[in-house]
């Protein structure tokens, strides 16, 4: 599941260091190309009337904010994908790469676009440092958010897929999704996750379940 790091990121695992043993830049050549020459981004102001699926994820406070504007044609293929992002090098590169993947070869269908996984973007970028992984996780979420927006606009609300959440701590109102986010943000043990989410603070009976989830997401994303 997370063998991307073993394959693509040689050198010190989990650090933002050289992407291979030979060169000493931080990212792969593909990341570099999309970072220095990003594709499909929107300069300056956006004319939203040109698009029929708009998605957003993240916030500047947490370091990454991403907005995408999709143009979906009558065959429900994505023919245009524009974006803006506030984020680090890999956030910019992964969004740029995703915009290429979604629109190449006549454009993806909505089902195809919805099934893009962070790993797919990662593979095309020839790897990212492990701890940069959460940046591109944002991108697939923004695409799904924009597709839901399209279904909302076209009265196909039955096709919207709301990301399923499971309430883990009903007192602190923390879901499995919140814990996943915390792990992706680098909280790899209970103490760190509690610092971010307050899960189980004053509700210790759920702590074994929380620790189980942390282990699951940690293995899923960081191997």
Q: Which residues are at the interface with another protein (CB under 8 A)?
A: 16, 25-26, 35-36, 38, 41-44, 60-67, 83-89, 91-92, 131-132, 185-186
Contact 84, 51 (CB under 8 A): no
At 46, list the tokens: 């956006």
Least distance from another protein to the Cβ atom of residue 24, Å: 9
d(CA 222, CA 178) in angstroms, rounded, equals: 17
Catalytic residue numbers read 62, 135
**Of 75 and 191, which has the nearer Cβ to another protein?**
191
**Of 35 and 217, which has the nearer Cβ to another protein?**
35
Least distance from another protein to the Cβ atom of residue 104, Å: 20
d(CA 149, CA 155) in angstroms, rounded, equals: 10
Helix 176-184 and helix 207-222, axial crossing angle in degrees, nearest 10: 50
**Of 77 and 87, which has the nearer Cβ to another protein?**
87
At 137, list the tokens: 């996780």
Query: How far apart, in Å, do the first and last CA atoms of the chain sit?
Result: 8
Least distance from another protein to the Cβ atom of residue 42, Å: 8
Q: Alpha helix (H) ranges present in 154-198?
A: 176-184, 190-197
Least distance from another protein to the Cβ atom of residue 179, Å: 16
Residue tagged 């029929």 (tokens)? 52
**Of 96 and 148, which has the nearer Cβ to another protein?**
96
Contact 65, 59 (CB under 8 A): yes
């Amino acid at each position: 599941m997370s063998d991307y790091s073993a394959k693509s990121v040689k050198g010190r695992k989990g650090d933002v260091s050289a992407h291979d043993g030979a060169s000493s830049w931080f990212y792969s050549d593909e990341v570099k190309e999309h970072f220095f020459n990003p594709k499909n981004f929107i300069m300056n102001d956006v004319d939203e009337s040109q698009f029929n699926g708009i998605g957003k994820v993240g916030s500047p406070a947490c370091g990454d904010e991403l907005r995408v504007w999709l143009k979906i044609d009558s065959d429900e293929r994505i023919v245009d994908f524009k974006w803006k992002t506030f984020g680090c090098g890999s956030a910019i590169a992964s969004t740029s790469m995703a915009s290429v993947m979604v629109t190449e070869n006549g454009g993806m269908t909505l089902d195809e676009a919805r099934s893009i996984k962070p790993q797919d973007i990662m593979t095309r970028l020839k790897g990212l440092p492990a701890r940069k992984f959460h940046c591109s996780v944002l991108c697939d979420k923004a695409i799904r958010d924009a597709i839901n927006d399209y279904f909302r606009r076209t009265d196909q609300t039955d096709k919207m897929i709301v990301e399923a959440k499971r309430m883990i701590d009903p007192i602190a109102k923390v879901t499995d999704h919140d814990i996943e986010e915390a792990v992706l943000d680098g909280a790899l043990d209970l103490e760190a996750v509690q610092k971010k989410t307050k899960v189980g603070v004053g509700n210790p009976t759920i702590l074994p379940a929380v620790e189980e989830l942390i282990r699951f997401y940690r293995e899923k994303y960081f191997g």
